Amino acid sequence: MYKRHSGTASSTAVSQNLGGVRGHYSYLFKKWGNHLSSEDQREAEELFQRYGYNAFLSDRLPLNRKIPDTRDPSRCKRREYPENLPTISVILIYLDEALSIIKRAIRSIIDRTPAKLLKEIILVDDNSSNEELKGSLDAYIGIIRKERPGLVKKVRHKEQMGLSQARISGWEVATGDVVAIFDAHIEVQVHWAEPLLTRIKMDRTLVLTPVFDKVNFDDLQVTLYYPAADGFDWAMWCAYDGFRPEWYQLNDKSQPGKSPSIMGILVVDRLFFGEIGLLDPGMKVYGGENVELAIRVWLCGGSIEVVPCSKVAHIERAHKPYQHDLSITMKRNALRVAEVWLDDYKKNVYVAWNLPLKDHGVDFGDVTERKKLREKLKCKPFQWYLDNVYPMLDPWNDLFGYGALKNDLRKDLCVDQGPLPGHTPIVYTCHYFTPQLCYYRTNGELYIGGIKSHKYEENRCLVDTGEMPGLYNCKEAKKKGFHMYWEFKQGEAIKNRETNRCLEVRLGTNAGYHLILQECSGQHWTIKHVITEQ
């Protein structure tokens, strides 16, 4: 199981929709909203573009709405917890959220957390421009304070500082034994806190995450998500992953499971979080800060668990309103993680982003203090993490080269995976996007169209099956006995080890070039980036 944990629908405002035409062109109106007038659809779409979810509908739902209890009925719902649990401070971070979303998050925390456990709710505003989040939100906080004096606190940044610093700002004013750091677009489930606090009472070095049910961005209905570990790929993108085999052997899906990473929403002993270095304040805007924390926790004396009996409903936005291209800061932050924590494996992050190992031109900031923290905490090497925590990451130890693959006859053309679905690679005008990313391993496998980060995932191997080269999942190619191993050195031929035929280009009858397999004629190939010369 491997699923990116972020909104994947790319929403684009459609002029016809905003002009009052029925909104079936927008992602918002695929399942919801046909009953609305054109005027209401226009308003709903404008709010959707601003927030990435259906704020129009949120504004019309009760703040204390009921959400389905998706906990395991036979194990979680019947479980009892100790009386003397630690207190918890809940930190909600946000940037330009809809007011009703924040108010509903606050209401759910108050209603579904035992008063004796809930120390405070801390709102951290990362310099929102939404005026509603000033006076109107303050007025709502005033109402809560009459009900629970001192319960709600508010921190506002004078300039946008990003997710890492927002979480740190909340931690700095927290006074509970435990801090829960959440996005503000959540609703907690009944008895969400007790399973987490029980685990931390047993072991203060645990960093925990609940299981998130998805709140649909359009109709705001809750979709059940089953327990899963949090993982990542070599580009440092976070994703759902499977637990280790020993968790499944328990045959009890209510039991906590060890996790290689964390999604960025976390629950941790407040003092331990400070001891281990909080979050890296050098991370910008969004992305990678959660993976950095996870690697550091595991290497420096802690561990990470997913707690299935704790459920939190979380809106998955259709798009992130604060930055349209998340890859810009994600790339920069990923290289920062690599430089501090990945040792000899930092090259894999460069490979994943198709960057040269040197002179890449990405400024990831000063990491001196983070390296000093690693020394101070006496952290283990990253190899230990691969061996003991995340062995499913493919170490890419035998990777020779990566990037665009060109023939010396036509250097404006690149090897390309060709049309999908299909099994025929081509040469095509170079554009350097994923379909043209090639990878050669010293075991002889040559991938076209990307490389996977995990051992259980399938790469697509170049094979010799006749006059034309083919492209097949490597396991399938091996099973069928296709000739899939090649000899290649930079600036030389690409020659099949079994058939002794070479991959070459030839001018076709329609004046276009295509890939062929034939007796070697002396054509040479170069791959964009070489890791080590053979």
CATH for 263:
3.90.550.10
Residues 54 and 100 in one domain: no
- Where is the domain boundary, 287, 315, 343? 315
Question: What's the pTM?
Answer: 0.91
53 and 96 belong to one structural domain: no
451 and 518 part of one domain: yes
3-state class (DSSP) for residue 323: coil
47 and 96 share one domain: no
Q: Do both 429 and 496 map to the same domain?
A: yes
Residue 361 Cα distances to 234, 331, 365, 420, angstroms: 19, 11, 12, 33
CATH for 484:
2.80.10.50
**Containing H/E element for 3?**
strand 3-4
**Bridging pattern class, strands 118-125 and 88-94:** parallel
Task: Pull the structure tokens for residue 14.
Answer: 């459609």
Structure tokens at 481: 């006995």
For residue 69, being part of any structural domain is answered with: no
In a domain, 327, yes or no: no
Range of the domain at 185: 88-315
- Do 104 and 218 lie in a common domain? yes
Residues 293 and 172 in one domain: yes
- Same-domain check for residues 222 and 299: yes
In a domain, 75, yes or no: no
> Digits of tens for pLDDT over the chain (534 positions)?
333 333 333 333 333 334 443 434 588 999 999 899 999 999 999 999 999 999 999 999 999 999 999 999 999 999 999 999 999 999 999 999 999 999 999 999 999 999 999 999 999 999 999 889 989 999 999 999 998 999 999 999 999 988 889 999 999 999 999 999 999 999 999 999 999 999 999 999 999 999 999 999 999 999 999 999 999 999 999 999 999 999 999 999 999 999 999 987 899 999 999 999 999 999 987 788 999 999 999 999 999 999 999 999 999 998 876 656 778 889 999 999 999 999 999 999 999 999 999 989 889 999 999 999 999 999 999 999 999 999 999 999 999 999 999 999 999 999 999 999 999 999 999 999 999 999 999 999 999 999 999 999 999 999 998 888 999 999 999 999 999 999 999 999 999 999 999 999 998 777 689 999 999 999 999 999 999 754
Q: What is the CA radius of gyration of the chain?
A: 26
35, 139: one domain: no
**Of 37, 9, 32, which Cα lies nearest the Cα of 219?**
32
280 and 136 assigned to the same domain:
yes
Residues 287 and 434 in one domain: no
CA angle 167, 168, 173 (to 5 degrees): 105
Domain membership of residue 519 (yes or no) is yes
Is residue 245 domain-shared with residue 119, that is, in the same domain? yes
Asked if the structure places residue 118 within a domain, the reply is: yes
Residue 376 falls inside a structural domain: no
505 lies in a domain?
Answer: yes
Mark 252-273 as b/e (b = at least 16 C-beta within 10 Å).
Answer: ebbbbbbbbbbbbbbbbbbebb
- Number of structural domains found in the chain: 3
| Alpha-carbon distance values, 200 to 370, 373, 447 (Å) | 26, 24, 45
Which two structure tokens, joined as six digits, stand for 285? 């805007």
Do the domain assignments include residue 185? yes
Q: Which residues share a beta bridge with 429? A: 413
Beta bridge partners of 393: 454
